Structure 1
Amino acid sequence: MQEIDTFIGDSLGGDAEVSFIGNPLFYGPQVIRNIESEFGIRGQRYDSLLAAAKARSGSAFQLVLVDQMHAEDLLELSASGRFDPGMATLALAYRDADVARNFLRRWYARLDTTIGFLPMNVALEVWLSLVRLLLHGQVVLPDELVASRAALGDAPPAAKDPPPCALPPTGLPPTGLKPLTLREQEVLELIARGESNKRIAAELDITVHTVKLHVHNLVRKLDVPNRTAAVSLYFEQQQQQGSAR
């Protein structure tokens, strides 16, 4: 993993940082040192989301970790558009799984953007592995939260790729997705694979803003409430197509 971690630091440049929003009791100097020594990227703690947003003009956020004590602010400020992490990966750092599950349900009830989750009460090597995934733009959803997805009603797409057999072998969209343009179909397939907007933009060589526009359009065309529901329809159509063969 050392080559990958060195690449993370080298590729992001000197201005990139992992931002912690929370109390220094939980995100003290040792936590910052762990990040900097493991990934070669600067770590910085902020007392609030607004303080981080104010500092963003001089920093290129790569990963924003928000403590569970700021969960309410994160939800409200994100929903109102007053906090936007840009191209950074956003994750809730939690110590109480019940708090994280409640936040998960409320987040996807109000927003159609993905968010990761980082448990803080795990061994250091596990914690660093999860941070590594987040730095690579992956949506981390621990098993203790996945178990409650069925009860949430509107859950996020799985962080792991679906089995290869779940993808159309011909590259053609299921019949029910025909209203979508080819580009919208490509975006939806990548969403179904658990890719973030940033990764989709890089894969298709378009901007993140364009990705969001495609997501908005495909959600409207499929007459579903959000991207999560679009992914559910995507797999449902694939299963129906497979059964018909």
Structure 2
Amino acid sequence: MTIRVVIADDHRVVRDGLCYLLDQEADIEVAGEAGDGLQTVAVAAATRPDVLVLDLYMPGLDGHGVIAALAAASHRPAVIVLTSALDDENLVRAMHAGATSYLLKTAPADDVIAAIRDAATGTATLSPELLTRLTQAMRRPPAPDPLQPLSPRERDVLELIARGLSNRQIARDLDIGEQTVKTHVRSILAKLELQDRVQAAIFALRHQGGR
């Protein structure tokens, strides 16, 4: 069986190197290449490869976006993330989204080839170091929600504060009394240990508008 592979990386030299490497393997065929995320999705749809070798740092749509797009596609190749991203966040996010394997660009050529063959049969590949990090990261408790002390209504008020609305405008938008808004604002400042509306707005913006 010939394994059909698409290579997605925004660096031409990386794509050329992988193409040269894979062309030496009798059972692997490079079916296509892509230099950005949107092109990757299009090439994968057109060529229907068995395996996609994907960098995370891509212009336009990044590698995570590509994985998400492929999850909803009619054809889903096995995805090998081949990246320089060393952090646990990218590792966990990619594997959780459905990547089959995660390799660093420092991996030996033989490891990349073996990962492609494994991925084509549905077998995941992680180095012992990355497997340990993934396991540890998955066991960590989620970070506490900084807005947890607030009630749902207080979160609504905080979001509107972040948009620059006055108490009167907030009251109109939420269909509540202006005095009630003032009470909510005082409660928000007290619960979050903030001094004024400006600090509240900054706090909200740092945490995605209070949502």
The TM tier, using the shorter chain, reads 0.5 to 0.7
* Structure 2 SS opposite 1:18: strand
Change (3 A) 1:79 1:130: closer
Aligned length: 137
* Structure 2 SS opposite 1:121: coil
The normalised TM-score by structure 2 is: 0.53
* Structure 2 SS opposite 1:68: coil
> After the TM superposition, which segments of 4 or more aligned residues of structure 1 sit over 6 Å from their partners?
80-83
Q: Tell me whether 1:33 sits opposite 2:27 in the alignment.
A: no
Match of 1:121 in 2: 106
Match of 2:197 in 1: none
Q: How does 1:210-225 map to 2 (within 5 A)?
A: none
Match of 1:75 in 2: 64
Change (3 A) 1:147 1:82: closer
Q: Give % identity.
A: 11
The alignment's C-alpha RMSD in Å is 3.0
Instruction: String of CA shifts for 1:191-213, please: whole Å, max 9, x gaps.
Output: xxxxxxxxxxxxxxxxxxxxxxx
Between the aligned partners of 2:45 and 2:94, the Cα distance in structure 1 is 26
Cα distance, 1:47 vs structure 2? 0.9
Match of 1:177 in 2: none
Q: Which amino acid aligns with 1:128?
A: I
Match of 1:105 in 2: 92
Change (3 A) 1:104 1:41: same
Gaps of 5+ in 2: 141-211
Between the aligned partners of 1:58 and 1:79, the Cα distance in structure 2 is 17
Gaps of 5+ in 1: 1-7, 156-245
Change (3 A) 1:134 1:119: farther
> Which of these residues, 42, 62, 69, is aligned with residue 54 of structure 1?
42
> Which of these residues, 73, 78, 85, is aligned with residue 89 of structure 1?
78
Between the aligned partners of 2:8 and 2:103, the Cα distance in structure 1 is 13
Between the aligned partners of 1:116 and 1:85, the Cα distance in structure 2 is 21
* Structure 2 SS opposite 1:19: strand
Match of 1:166 in 2: none
- Conservation of the 8 A alpha-carbon contact between 2:81 and 2:99: no
Q: Which amino acid aligns with 1:61?
A: P
Change (3 A) 1:135 1:120: farther
Match of 1:169 in 2: none
Match of 1:139 in 2: 124
Instruction: String of CA shifts for 1:146-201, please: whole Å, max 9, x gaps.
Output: 1113431269xxxxxxxxxxxxxxxxxxxxxxxxxxxxxxxxxxxxxxxxxxxxxx
Structure exhibiting the larger radius of gyration computed from Cα positions: 2
Q: Which amino acid aligns with 2:43?
A: A
